[in-house]
Amino acid sequence: MFMLRSLVRSPYSVLFLIPSLFIPFLAGCNGKGQAAGPAEDFAMPVKVQPAQPKKVDDSSEYVATIKSRFSVTLQPQVEGQITHIFVKSGNYVKTGAPILQIDPLKQTATVNSQEATRKSREANLEWARTQLERTKQLYASGVASKQDLDQAQTAFNTAQADVASLDAQVREQTVQLKYFTVAAPIDGVIGDVPVHVGDRVTTSTILTTVDQRTAREAYINIPAERVPLLKLGTPVQIVDGNGGIIANTKVTFISPQVDVATQAVLVKAGVDATKGDLREAQFVRARVIWQTKPQLAVPVTAVSRISGQYFAYVAEHSDKGWVAHQRPLKVGQILGSDYVVLDGIKAGDQVVVSGSQNLMDGAPIAITQ
């Protein structure tokens, strides 16, 4: 009666009393007015994914140099002054197309002089032939002696040898004259042209390069201790700075010698230069794939790192429902959006891939789709 009178005197107390009367009732019910169930009513919703093996490449990356299989450095075979340049850098030329002209005037004069001398020697040869025929007739009639015949024969042979020798010299100088026009030895693209009209060049002067871009090779220097793992046909990937694959190729040559300075072995792999616009002497990354084997992989989002140790949650079923257990992992390389797992889980384990940031070891979970 005293409490009731107090409540009547203080109407605001009724407002506090009514909720307190229902709290014990609500504590025994869930949101649907039913009695609360076991721990799964407080389970954290997560998504899981079974750990599955994927093909993983055991590979190593090296710096490689792109070189053309058919690249020619042009140097003159004669000395002289450049009088004309017929091409520009980047031009495509066919075999035999003129590249540049070296002043041929002196050589032309030499050829003309020798040709004139040859004509003179040919005239002497004709005279010696006539004299020999006449002497033979006189000798047959008994007018000329044997000595006269021998002398005529010797004069003819000498004149004939002189003409043959001069013919050879004229041919040599004519061929030499052709060298004053530098021509493309192969089909290809003209490289840098460092010389100019008016420059004097020698046989050691680099004029330009002619490069066939469709046939290239990657020159890879591989440490000698790794070479026993190599064989012809070993897969090689040419990759860009972001790891994207420019070209897939394979080993086509393994040098039998080790470089004394670097203790590396030269390995070549053919490359289709139309892929990635690869250029002569360009540095690229070559990924040598030693072997491909299946290994477990889990999404990167499922792995957390604490104090340098990697962990992932695995969903396990018990009498009370699903619970999350934290597993320490030993991870390898990143394969796309997955970590390669070397140890810590096995194939088929249900790995939590979403919602793990709010979990703790042994926490109840509810698996969602």
Residues 153 and 238 in one domain: no
Compute φ and ψ for 59, nearest 5 degrees. Answer: -135, 165
From CA 281, how far away is CA 287, in angstroms rounded? 18
122-156 burial, b if ≥16 CB within 10 A, otherwise e?
bebbeebeebbeebeeebeeeebeeebbeebeebb
pLDDT in tens, 133-186: 999 999 898 888 999 999 999 999 999 999 999 999 999 999 989 999 999 998
With contact defined as beta carbons under 8 Å apart, do 288 and 248 qualify? no
pLDDT band with cut points at 50, 70 and 90 for residue 23: very low
pLDDT band with cut points at 50, 70 and 90 for residue 273: low
Residues 90 and 194 in one domain: yes
Residues 344 and 268 in one domain: no
Residues 300 and 278 in one domain: no
Residues 243 and 347 in one domain: no
| Whether the predicted pLDDT of 366 surpasses 60 | yes
The structure tokens listed for 94 are 């066919």
Residues 15 and 79 in one domain: no
| Whether the predicted pLDDT of 314 surpasses 50 | yes
Domain of residue 333 covers 39-54+294-367
Average pLDDT over residues 336-351: 86
Tell me, what's the pLDDT at 182? 94
Q: What is the number of structural domains in the chain?
A: 4
To the nearest whole percent, how much of the chain has pLDDT over 70?
87
Residues 192 and 232 in one domain: no
DSSP string, 35-63: BP-SGGGGPEEEEEEE-EEEEEEEEEEEE
Tell me the sheet residues that pair with 289. Answer: 59
Nearest alpha-carbon partner for 359 in 319, 320, 311:
311
Nearest alpha-carbon partner for 65 in 335, 292, 264:
264
Where does a domain end: 208, 237, 254? 208
pLDDT in tens, 137-150: 998 988 889 999 99
Residues 9 and 124 in one domain: no
Tell me, what's the pLDDT at 276? 55
With contact defined as beta carbons under 8 Å apart, do 208 and 99 qualify? yes
Average pLDDT over residues 7-16: 41
From CA 119, how far away is CA 281, in angstroms rounded? 53
Residues 255 and 163 in one domain: no
Q: What is the average pLDDT score of the chain? A: 83
pTM of the model: 0.54
Residues 130 and 87 in one domain: yes
Residues 330 and 343 in one domain: yes
Tell me, what's the pLDDT at 16? 39
With contact defined as beta carbons under 8 Å apart, do 226 and 264 qualify? no
**Which CATH number characterizes residue 113's domain?**
2.40.50.100
Residues 88 and 197 in one domain: yes
Burial of 115 (0-12, 13-18, 19+ CB in 10 A): middle
| Whether the predicted pLDDT of 17 surpasses 80 | no
Sole residue written with tokens 């003179």: 120
